[in-house]
Structure 1
Amino acid sequence: MLERYTAPPAKTSWRQLLRREFFPTDRRRDIDGLRGLAVLMVVLFHAGWLRGGFVGVDIFVVISGYFMGRSALMQHPFKPVNFVCRRLYRLLPALLCMIALVSAGMLWWVLPSDRADIALNGAYALVYLSNIWASGHVGYFEGQSIAYPFLHTWSLSLEMQFYAIIFLMALFLPFVRHRKWAISAICLLSFVFSMLSHLHGDTQGYYNIFDRMWQFSLGTMIWILPPLRLSRGAAALVFVAAYAMLIGAALFYRLDFACPSYMSLFPCLAVVALIMLPQTGLARIGLVPLSPVGVISYSIYLWHWPGIVVANYLMAFQVHGWTMAAVLGVVMVVSLLSYLFVERVGLEYEKTARQGARVRGAGVLVGACTVLALALFSISAVSSVH
């Protein structure tokens, strides 16, 4: 009897591996490019090189609302365990790694007063209440913000709080007859709340989920809006106008235009327009080249601010110019390693593991975050006493 011959698997070249990893075909590359644009704006803003780069956070928030609308509100039936596990494996491993390493490398040599605040901020970040801590301690655009390596996690706390809200909405959605009106009402009420904060000069509303909920809701509403049916020329004009809006906001917006402010509405609407457009030729030119940055944008966001803060602590002068460029270069390398060996590993496990193992693993992640948060709370309490 002839033995059956099985051909060996074809070898995958390094180019194919890179293309599969950073130019995936199972996701919209233009939205990855939007993520890349957003994180570059935030990084350049924190480096002091881009006046209005804070609008990158607005871009992230709208994109998050868009994807959560699909993951929760558009899934029939909604699977709560899958939704929760996906979010935890997406966010917790890299956050836990960043806070553990920065705390271990930094807390032992800073002054006790700084140690108390930094440890407390890290503890709040691990339980996704960093925005609440920040609103009572420091203005985001004030000079003292450079002392806190975990201050940027306020936006991650906002995002997790939004996940909790949309999780509850998805659970109760079968009992809501007019979901379109419900989502629209949440968007409108939050926008009115944000405008009231703006009129009263409440700058700490920058951290508030109620002042930001309309931005998340705008992204979610994309799923209930009628699709754009435009000619190629009209789509190109809309793309150019929306893209120019984002670039113009990043270049020229002042700090007082940050949310809560009616001026934050315009970049958010520009993001909605870009997401609703088909993947035009202009998108392939203006956004797709940034998609590899968008793929690792979460790790870049996590590591760029601690890198800048630690560099300012170590140097005898405020970091800027070529020194800042070198710091950001190191940050990009660390972010890539974080994506490949922490973030991506968690996501792959979530995809391939059986449900029981996924749930147990999620429990381990939550437990590890809780233990580290308690340790940081203790360090903060002891440092405050001394």
Structure 2
Amino acid sequence: MSDQNVAQGLAANSEHRKEIDGLRAIAVLSVVFCHAGFAVFAGGFVGVDVFFVISGYLITSIILRELDAGTFSLRRFYERRARRILPALFLMLAVCLPLAWWWLWPADFRDFAKSLVYVVLFASNIHFFKEIGYFAPDVELRPLLHTWSLGVEEQYYILFPLILMFVWRVRRHWLAGGVVVLLMLSLLGAQLGLARLPEASFYLLPARAWELILGAVYALLVAQRHPVAQVPQPWRNPLSLAGLGMILCAVFLYSPATPFPGLSALMPTLGALLVIAAATPETLAGKLLAWRPVQWVGLCSYSIYLWHQPVFAFARYRLDEPGMPLMAALIALTLMLGYLSWRYVEGPFRRPCWQGRRLAAFALVGMAAFIVFGMTGKHRADIFKRFAPAYEVQIGVERQLSRNYGLDKACDELRGNPQCQTADNPEVLLWGDSYAMHLADGIIASQPDVGLVQRTESGCAPLLGIAPVRGGNLSAAEACLRFNEDVLAELKRMPSIRYVVLASPFAQYLKSENSLLVEDGRLLPVDSGLVLKALQETLRRLEEMQVSTVVVSPPPANGGDLGKCLARSVLLERSLAHCDFAQSEMSLERLAVYRLLAALPSGTRVVWLHELMCQGGHCASHDGNTFLYLDEGHLSRDGSVLLGKKYDFYRLFTGGKALTDREKP
């Protein structure tokens, strides 16, 4: 790569490009509308990927220009990043602090405080990768979840400039080829990770770096004045429109069920690259992106992105699920906050006075303050929360909403743990997923001296030879197959077992966006008939072992988070009856499961929890002041105990009642 070509190529692309500001607007609005819950924007999360491509292109262009001029300095580079990122970020965090203190339940406040530390260290992507799972709080209620993308980007910019500097000085002609190799390795890792570690592929740098590198590769081609980077005039209009179309197709056609990132991310990222490469002021795409309102959003895009998640999360935390009119108002508030942050925070901090020691002091003091507050809140949330309104009420509600793992938290996946067995020679085996876990307290409440062994794994129904593949996570499905075979093998070694209780919502096996892994390794589309056959085969195998078996249906559900509704009712001092619902309002997902269980052969013993919890067509979410639910479907610990005593779960599950007299829903 000749220095003259570098200089000429970069000079030709150094002017401010309104098309890129417009592209930023498309990206941030896609994310905002997606997170606001507008179904048509279900794939709007790809806006983050568009941001990555833009960032990779622009930042690499700047670095190459300075390397060519011999003026590149890591200190100045990181100083620019600090001026760009930290002021608006610190403001958002500072505003979130009192709101979190005021509104969040103690456990959620501790999680907020913990995430605060990771955010200012630009490692929140690692934090959320480790924390978010089946039992994690609703991601929509995490005010700082969106900062994962800042973590990815800043981790990238710690490493990538060093690589560029080194190769530039040692083997400059290797630069483009080496970067392309990095891109291919990262993309390959992202795609392979979808099957084994989908959460890692989504949150961590190795599987996301290729998106930033994609923009960097184009910057390198521009710097070299490579023919590939020079889009002929006749092709600019169709290619730039095609790029916009690819982004919008991903926004409107993708959903959270789309395996992502990996090859699926090529559509929005290549679309962004086409816009960067081909859109000019003369093209139709360029004119659309240069429209004044679009430009305004693009200029404020970073601040808008920072504010949208806290605004939505705190509103959802405090209010009932906001309807579209309220969400529209919250979007307007987000845009206003984004503008104010851009105008009065981002702009002033770009002035020359904010550099050197002054900027370093601002950054270090701010980071230190948030880290101290975060660490204190993580370990001693009571220091802050005890002075918050309704603290004692929050503690009581939080106890009712504590996660229900059954006998012990260790019983989720861990085999053979002594805490998951109440006697040396148990008579009852509780087998299934989290919807089996929540029955344990009720069984023990109805028969305190019961010999119970719990074998449960979250998301894994007690079905032999079949497992759900969700979000492309093949390894979890394989683990589920092994788990159920292990439980059956263990049952054969436990002659004291007389009763087997099977429980699951089974919904994960019926969702069309999932697939089913069968024991011979084939992946099949979801088929309720296949699931029913697997359940019948499991019951047949248990019958051969001469144990009495019962299937327990999931509790009635209306699709809303009943635990959250109950907690909010206490906080707002309104009747808990607000969260009850008519049996006719049962969710379609729950009805599909009930139809599956109703299709079992006559004589199959099934306990229908809706018969216990819905009287006269009215389904209760509480009994007195006791919450029956902790979320959208799981029984709370107190709820399980209350129902277990009231309806004698032990007698129900071991055949003390005519369980075959089923009222099919």
TM-score range, shorter chain: 0.7 to 0.9
**1:214 equivalenced with 2:210 (yes/no):** yes
**1:331 equivalenced with 2:334 (yes/no):** yes
How far off is 1:203 after superposition? 3.2
Q: What is the CA–CA distance in structure 1 between the aligned matches of 2:181 and 2:283, rounded to whole Å? A: 35
**Deviation per CA, 1:126-147, whole angstroms, max 9, x where unpaired?**
110100000011259x871022
Match of 2:288 among 286, 299, 307: 286
- Equivalent position SS for 2:248: helix
Give yes or no for contact 1:114–1:147 (8 Å, CA) kept in 2.
Answer: no
How far off is 1:311 after superposition? 0.8
Deviates more, 1:169-178 or 1:270-279: 169-178
**1:53 equivalenced with 2:44 (yes/no):** yes
- Equivalent position SS for 1:34: helix
How far off is 1:201 after superposition? 5.2
**1:35 equivalenced with 2:20 (yes/no):** no
Task: Using the aligned pairs only, state the percent identity.
Answer: 30
Match of 1:160 among 154, 165, 169: 154
Give yes or no for contact 2:100–2:112 (8 Å, CA) kept in 1.
Answer: no
Supply the AA of the counterpart residue of 2:22: G
Q: Quick one: structure 1 residues 382 and 221, their matched pair in 2 at CA, closer, same or farther if it must change by over 3 Å?
A: same
Higher helix share: 1
How far off is 1:370 after superposition? 2.1
Higher strand share: 2
Deviates more, 1:54-63 or 1:203-212: 203-212
Give yes or no for contact 2:58–2:219 (8 Å, CA) kept in 1.
Answer: no
Supply the AA of the counterpart residue of 1:168: L
Q: What is the CA–CA distance in structure 2 between the aligned matches of 1:152 and 1:330, rounded to whole Å? A: 17
Give yes or no for contact 2:243–2:275 (8 Å, CA) kept in 1.
Answer: yes
- Superposition pairs of residues 50-89 of structure 1, within 5 angstroms: 50-76=41-67, 77=70, 78-89=72-83
Give yes or no for contact 1:72–1:166 (8 Å, CA) kept in 2.
Answer: no
Give yes or no for contact 2:57–2:219 (8 Å, CA) kept in 1.
Answer: yes
**1:176 equivalenced with 2:165 (yes/no):** no
Q: What is the CA–CA distance in structure 2 between the aligned matches of 1:96 and 1:353, rounded to whole Å? A: 19
**1:346 equivalenced with 2:353 (yes/no):** no
Q: What is the CA–CA distance in structure 2 between the aligned matches of 1:329 and 1:139, rounded to whole Å? A: 32
**1:235 equivalenced with 2:236 (yes/no):** yes
Q: What is the CA–CA distance in structure 2 between the aligned matches of 1:229 and 1:110, rounded to whole Å? A: 53
Gaps of 5+ in 2: 1-13, 384-394, 396-665
How far off is 1:75 after superposition? 1.9
Report how many residues are paired: 355
How far off is 1:232 after superposition? 3.6
Supply the AA of the counterpart residue of 1:274: V
- Equivalent position SS for 2:44: coil
Q: Quick one: structure 1 residues 193 and 219, their matched pair in 2 at CA, closer, same or farther if it must change by over 3 Å?
A: same
How far off is 1:81 after superposition? 2.0
- Equivalent position SS for 2:55: helix
How far off is 1:109 after superposition? 3.6
TM-score (norm 2): 0.51
- Equivalent position SS for 2:66: coil
**Deviation per CA, 1:9-65, whole angstroms, max 9, x where unpaired?**
xxxxxxxxxxxxxxxx95100000000100000000001111110110110001111
Supply the AA of the counterpart residue of 1:34: L
Give yes or no for contact 1:193–1:210 (8 Å, CA) kept in 2.
Answer: yes
How far off is 1:197 after superposition? 0.3
**Deviation per CA, 1:156-190, whole angstroms, max 9, x where unpaired?**
11111111012322332312341112211111111
Gaps of 5+ in 1: 1-24
In structure 2, the residue matched to 1:196 is 192
Q: Quick one: structure 1 residues 146 and 100, their matched pair in 2 at CA, closer, same or farther if it must change by over 3 Å?
A: same
Q: Quick one: structure 1 residues 284 and 127, their matched pair in 2 at CA, closer, same or farther if it must change by over 3 Å?
A: same
**Deviation per CA, 1:326-358, whole angstroms, max 9, x where unpaired?**
1111111111111111111111x2xx238xx53
RMSD (Å), alpha carbons: 2.1
Q: What is the CA–CA distance in structure 1 between the aligned matches of 2:377 and 2:343, rounded to whole Å? A: 31
Q: Quick one: structure 1 residues 221 and 323, their matched pair in 2 at CA, closer, same or farther if it must change by over 3 Å?
A: same
Q: Quick one: structure 1 residues 266 and 139, their matched pair in 2 at CA, closer, same or farther if it must change by over 3 Å?
A: farther
Deviates more, 1:271-280 or 1:37-46: 271-280
In structure 2, the residue matched to 1:92 is 86
Give yes or no for contact 1:116–1:384 (8 Å, CA) kept in 2.
Answer: no
How far off is 1:283 after superposition? 2.6
Which protein is bigger by CA-based radius of gyration? Answer: 2
How far off is 1:230 after superposition? 4.1
Q: What is the CA–CA distance in structure 1 between the aligned matches of 2:364 and 2:64, rounded to whole Å? A: 25
Give the number of the structure with larger relative contact order, counting CA–CA contacts within 8 Å between residues 6 or more apart.
1
Give yes or no for contact 1:187–1:218 (8 Å, CA) kept in 2.
Answer: yes
In structure 2, the residue matched to 1:114 is 108
TM-score (norm 1): 0.87
Q: What is the CA–CA distance in structure 2 between the aligned matches of 1:322 and 1:143, rounded to whole Å? A: 25
Q: What is the CA–CA distance in structure 2 between the aligned matches of 1:153 and 1:191, rounded to whole Å? A: 22
Give yes or no for contact 1:135–1:207 (8 Å, CA) kept in 2.
Answer: yes
In structure 1, the residue matched to 2:316 is 312
Give yes or no for contact 2:187–2:262 (8 Å, CA) kept in 1.
Answer: no
Deviates more, 1:196-205 or 1:335-344: 196-205
Match of 1:102 among 67, 72, 96: 96
Q: What is the CA–CA distance in structure 2 between the aligned matches of 1:224 and 1:327, rounded to whole Å? A: 40
**1:185 equivalenced with 2:186 (yes/no):** no
Q: Quick one: structure 1 residues 152 and 224, their matched pair in 2 at CA, closer, same or farther if it must change by over 3 Å?
A: same
- Equivalent position SS for 1:222: helix
Give yes or no for contact 2:30–2:47 (8 Å, CA) kept in 1.
Answer: yes
**Deviation per CA, 1:224-268, whole angstroms, max 9, x where unpaired?**
222544444322111221111111110011223353331111211
